[in-house]
Every structure is written in structure tokens, then in C-alpha cells.
Structure 1
Amino acid sequence: MHYWQMDVFAERPLTGNGLAVFDDARGLSTATMQALTQELRQFESLFLLPGEVAGEYAARIFTVEEELPFAGHPILGAAALLHHLYEPGDSGHWRLRLSMKTVELRTRRQGQGFYAEMDQGEAEWGVRLSGEDARIYAEAFSLAADDLDVRYPACVVSTGLPYLLLPVSSAALARARQNRADLDRLLAGIGAVFVYLLDVDALEGRTWDPLGVVEDVATGSAAGPVAAYLVEHGRCVRDEPFVLNQGRFVGRPSRIDLRVGTDNRVRVGGAVQLLSRAELLVNPSLLA
């Protein structure tokens, strides 16, 4: 059994968000997929299973802590790998079936790597916070009320995973540090699972795992909500591409390409660099 390592939202190797993809995970149990993800210590790993029609695959995504119903950069990386393995031409079209939705993707060869774009669908809008409630979440990242960008509301938006988008100043984004271990409980009260700190002027963001231990490098599942939010509030223009930057504060600069169409569907894309191919030497049946 083989797996691949790659960088997503990466203009060159060793930038962007790292990922491991198992190209044929038949025979692996859920517990084994979780254990392999913990062993590889990537932020996320994706396991592909053949579908019933050409170009369609089932996909399961794991962090070191849990399985996710949806994620961004693993899906893009998997599509690029499928192109590398099965599409000799310059462009490809893929469908990945997740537990909560099926995602359409297009890929193309680009330089020494690939470019992948997904259709995340229309955004769903949740709770809009008052200034006082937004302050509580700012304090969870060691920030104060005057660090918030009050021109834009804090609100929950989802294209698969619900994020609290919290607009802050450029200076606040740079010094933010999560300081609450119970942030997931706090977020559950407003129907969100993560917070995404957003510098609206610079089009740059940051987010962490629920415990605040690991900062994510480039978050495709947050980028879709951000795209819808920026268009809704007039910062970016519908049907025109724009770029969200992330990863600067962890030394992994990442470029996330965004577009919201006239149909309100959000497209998220980026460059993918394949790094290595490895072989799992242990018989998978012995890992169950």
C-alpha cells in the first residue's frame, strides 16, 4: 500500500499546507486510518476509495484527533494526485464523495506540479455577533475589543464546516495567541467549530486547532466562508478572482485563490506540489 506526501496552496515545494494521501485505502479500518494519521503527524491525511463510476472516489479525512466531514486542502491535494496517477492530459475532472457532501473538482498541470479547484457550493449564514459577544472571542485570542475591525461584523459562515469569522486589525492578527482550552464549548453555543481571524484589508487570516496547540497553515474549509463573507460585505467583487494569504506566521506562506460566481457558488483553488511516494510495509490486515 502506497501513500503520497504533497504541499497544497504551495507555489513551490516546502511551502503551503502539507498532506498525506493514501491512493487506495481498501482494507483499512477507521481505527487504522486514525492511527496512521497520528503516525505520520501531518495536520491532515486523506484516504481514497474507488467509486462506482470513472472519476469518482470516496474520501475520508482525518486529523491527528478525529475524522472530519469536510476539509479543503486534503480534497485539492487528492484531486491533484488523481490527475498525476490517472489523467495523461492537461486537465481533469473529479468527484470526491465525503460523509456530508460530494465535491466537484477540476485540475490541470501547472509547471512541475498541478493546480486544483473545488466547488464548495453556496455559503450558509449563521449567527451574527454583537460587539460585546465578539469581544469575548477576541479575548480568547489574547486580544481586546479595540483590536476588532468594527467595520465588519463577526459572524458564523459555512461551506461545509462552520467558522466564526472574526475581523481584526493587521497588528492584532500578528500577535494573536489562543488562550482558552474550552473554546470548542464556547463555539458550540453559536453553532461554530472553529474561529478564523481575518485581516480584511490585507486579505490574510489565521486559525488554530480547537485546543490552540497547532496553527493551521492554509485552511481551504475556511477560505470558502471567507470568500462569501468578503463579497457579501463589498470587500471583493463577485465573479472576480482574489487571493487569501495564510501561513506567514508559521513560515509556510500559502496562496489560496478564491472566486464567488454570479450563482453564489464559491470556488477555492491553489497550486499543489507532489513531494514523495512511500510504501506501507506492514500488511494492513495486521493493523486492524
Structure 2
Amino acid sequence: MDYWQVDVFAERVLAGNGLAVFPAACGLSTTAMQGLTRELRQFESIFLEQGASPRSFSARVFTVEEELPFAGHPILGAAALLHHLHAIEDSASWELQLPNKRVSIATRREGKGFYAEMDQGQAEFGQTLDEQMAAAFAAAFGSERDHRYLPQVVSTGLPYLLLPVTTAGLAAAKQRQLLDDDLARLGAAFVFLLDVDAREGRTWDPLGVVEDVATGSAAGPVAAWLVAQGLEQRDQPFALAQGRFLDRPSRLDVRVTGDGRVQVGGGVQLLAHAHLLPSPEELA
């Protein structure tokens, strides 16, 4: 079984967010998928199986800790690799079926790599925090809030608590306590810190140990929130930045259509191609 390593939201290799893609993962158990993700130590890995049509695949995404119902950069990276493996034309489209969501992705060749854009659908807006709750979450990251805006839970498949912070607050941020129970009460999975003026953000794994480089599943909620706040316009593309504090600068292109559908895209670079020696049965 072959697998690939790709860089997503990247204009060159060794930038953006790294990803392991298993383009033909038939026969791998859940235990094997989780174990391989831990072994490769990428922030996420994605495992594909051929669907009913040549451009349709089922997909499962894992972090080193758990399976995710939806994720951004794995979907874009997987679609770009599928283009490389299966499409001779310059532009193509794909359908990935995740456990709870079906995603359409358009890909095209661009320079030495690819460009991929997904339709995340319409955003769902959840609870807006009051001042006391907002202060508590900011304190959990040792970060200075941007008091012009209150944090809010927003989702396009994975719910994030969007926490507006100052430029200095974003730079100084570090998770200082476990937030799982507090987030669960809000119906959120992660916190995404956002410097509104710079359109730049940061987020961490649930333990606050590993910082994500570029988070496509958060870019959609951020884009929808900025439009809802009147800070961006529908049908006008703009970019978000992430990864600067990890020396992995990343550009996440976003757009909210006239009917409210959220589009997230970015460059994808192929980095490495490897062969898995054990059989799926040996990994079970």
C-alpha cells in the first residue's frame, strides 16, 4: 500500500500544513489508521477508498488522538493527490464522503503543484459568549481579548469557538489549561484565536500541546463570521493567514457566496511518495 506526504495551503514545499494521504486504503482497520497516523506524526492523516464513481471516494480523517468527522486541509490535500493520480486534464472535480458530510472539491494544476477549493456549505452559528465567559477563555490562553467582538461558536462541519484577540494577544497565546468540558458545554470542539484586523489565527489540539499549522475546518467558520459581522462582503474572495509562529507560513483563501455557501481553498504541493511494507492484515 502506497502513501504520500503533501503540503497544503502552501505555495512551495516545506510550507503550509503537512499531511499523509493513503489514496487506496481498502482493508485498513480503524485501529491501523489511528496507529499509522501516530507513527507518521503528521497533524492529520486521511484514508481514501474508491466510491461508486471514478471521481467519488469515501474518506476518514485522523489526528494522533482521534478520528475527526470533518477536516479542511486533509480534504484539499487528498483531492490534489487524486488529481495527480487519476486526471490528465488541467481541471477536475471530486466528491469525498466523510462520516457525516459530503464535500465537493475542484482542483487544477498550478505551477509544480495544484490548487484545490472545497465547498463547505452554509455555516451554522452557535452560542455567543458573554463578557465573563469571554474573559475566562482569553485567560486560558494568557491572551488579550479584542473587546470590539464577543467570541462565538461557528461550524461548517467542525464547531470552533472563535475568540477575537489583539495582535499582541495572538503572538503571546499559549493554552494553559484543559478546556474540553467548557467547550463541550458550548457545543464546540476547539478554540480558534483570531486577530481580526490581520486576518490571522492560531489553534491547538485539545490538550494544548500541538499547534496546528493551517486549519481549513476553521477557515470556513472564520470567513462566515467575518461576513456576518459586516467585515467582509459576500462573493468577494479574501485570504486568512496561519502558521507564522511555527515557521510554516500558510495562506487560506476563503469566500462566502451570495447564497451563503463557504468556499475554502489553497495551494497543494506533493512532497514524498512511500510504500507501506506490512499488509493491512498485519496492521489490524
Q: TM-score range by the shorter chain?
A: over 0.9
Q: CA deviation at 1:156?
A: 0.3
Query: Distance in 1 between the 2:230 and 2:202 partners?
Result: 21
Residue by residue over 1:235-274, the C-alpha shift from the partner in whole angstroms, topping out at 9 and shown as x without a partner, is 1111000000000001100000000000100000000000
Q: CA deviation at 1:74?
A: 0.2
RMSD over aligned Cα atoms:
0.6
Query: Distance in 2 between the 1:156 and 1:276 partners?
Result: 37
Query: In the alignment, which residue of structure 2 is the partner of 1:203?
Result: 199
Residue by residue over 1:113-172, the C-alpha shift from the partner in whole angstroms, topping out at 9 and shown as x without a partner, is 0000000000001000111110010011013xxx21122221000000100000010010
Equivalenced residue count is: 284
Query: In the alignment, which residue of structure 1 is the partner of 2:159?
Result: 162
Query: In the alignment, which residue of structure 1 is the partner of 2:169?
Result: 172
> Partner letter of residue 228 of structure 1?
A
Query: Distance in 2 between the 1:122 and 1:24 partners?
Result: 30
Query: In the alignment, which residue of structure 1 is the partner of 2:93?
Result: 93
TM-score (norm 2): 0.99
Local SS of the residue matching 1:46: strand
> Partner letter of residue 79 of structure 1?
A
Query: In the alignment, which residue of structure 1 is the partner of 2:259?
Result: 263
Any stretches of 5+ residues in structure 2 without a counterpart? none
1:1-288 matches, within 5 Å, as 1-143=1-143, 147-181=144-178, 183-288=179-284
Query: Distance in 2 between the 1:42 and 1:168 partners?
Result: 28
Any stretches of 5+ residues in structure 1 without a counterpart? none
Local SS of the residue matching 2:168: helix
Local SS of the residue matching 1:37: helix
In the TM superposition, structure 1's runs of 4+ consecutive aligned residues that sit over 2 Å from their partners are none
Contact map agreement 1:4 1:21 (CA 8 A) in 2? yes
Query: Distance in 1 between the 2:223 and 2:163 partners?
Result: 14
Local SS of the residue matching 1:189: helix
Query: Distance in 1 between the 2:257 and 2:142 partners?
Result: 36
Query: Distance in 2 between the 1:36 and 1:219 partners?
Result: 21
